[in-house]
Structure 1
Amino acid sequence: MLIYLDTCCFNRPFDDQSQTRIRFETAAKLQLQQRVRQKKVRLVWSYLLDFENSQNPFPERAASILLWRNLAEVRVGETGAVLDWGRSLMTLGIKPFDALHVACALVAGSDLFVTTDDLLLRKLRGFPDLAALPPGEALAKVEHWYED
């Protein structure tokens, strides 16, 4: 299974962990990353993740996130296909950077797009070309929790 984690997902462990939801999403995201290390799932990395991470005002966080680029089996650069998908997704009301993240996932052939952005998840609900899920639901899908 090929997964794409967007920037907000990579940053979730650095958010205030006092809320149950944030702790749950952090734990699920870390478990997904463990599956990447175990080679049970494959990770996509994109030029947009590089760009947004380079804008991170916390160098230690940026360095921690950047390590995942080395574990990604698929890398997506800026291509005509990515930009075309991005423009198409923006017509659905998706913000430009979010649209480009989704476009990178689509061009890579990702099975899952993982984000903690509720608005983006709502806009992608029912989108036929890509399953977009929050970390907990993505982990459930990866581990086949509900397939019995």
Structure 2
Amino acid sequence: MKIYLDVCCLCRPFDDQLIPRIRYECEAVIAILNRCSQDWELVWSSAITYEIAKIVDHDRRHYVSTFAGKTSIHVPVDPAIKKRAAVLMDLGVKALDALHIACAERAGATVLITTDDSLKNIMSHHSDIISIRIVNPAAWYEEVTGNESEDTA
């Protein structure tokens, strides 16, 4: 399974863990990253690298950038990705989010995982024009691990 985590997910451990939703999402992101070091594949892209470079906090930037070394799939942003991103931007998607979607599609990712409700909401109205699911980490991880539990029962 190929997993594309956007940068807001990778930064979740630095957010306020006293908020239950954030804590659950953080736990799910960490569990997903652990699975990516075992039997799932973590997809990386030039868009992720670019966005991480913009993180001001050195510790956060360093922590998040360490995941680049754990990937086997890297998607460079090329003219075709930019063209696809432009189509997504016409739907109201922000530029970097559009690049993430286009890169995830190019990689053949199973899902793009994000904590960005706005992105999920926009794309839920346009799911017919994208080839991936855009999901919340906590909800998706529960869905996947719940299915695995049922498979082994």
Classify the TM-score, shorter chain.
over 0.9
For structure 1, list consecutive stretches of 5 or more residues without a partner in the other structure: none
Query: 2 CA distance for matches of 1:141 and 1:104?
Result: 24
For structure 2, list consecutive stretches of 5 or more residues without a partner in the other structure: none
TM-score, length basis structure 2? 0.90
Query: 1 CA distance for matches of 2:144 and 2:105?
Result: 18
Residue matched to 1:26:
26
- Does the CA contact (< 8 Å) of 1:140 and 1:146 recur in 2? no
Consecutive aligned runs of 4 or more in structure 1 exceeding 2 Å deviation: 140-148
State the AA in 1 paired with 2:52: N
Query: 2 CA distance for matches of 1:3 and 1:141?
Result: 14
Query: 2 CA distance for matches of 1:144 and 1:87?
Result: 36
Residue matched to 1:102:
101
**For each residue in 1:70-119, what CA deviation from the matched residue of structure 2 results, as whole angstroms up to 9, or x when unmatched?**
11111011112211110111111101111111111011111110000000
TM-score, length basis structure 1? 0.93
Inter-CA distance 146–37: structure 2 relative to 1 (3 Å threshold): closer
- Does the CA contact (< 8 Å) of 1:81 and 1:107 recur in 2? no
Share of identical aligned residues, percent?
33
Residue matched to 2:142:
140
* Matched positions, count: 147
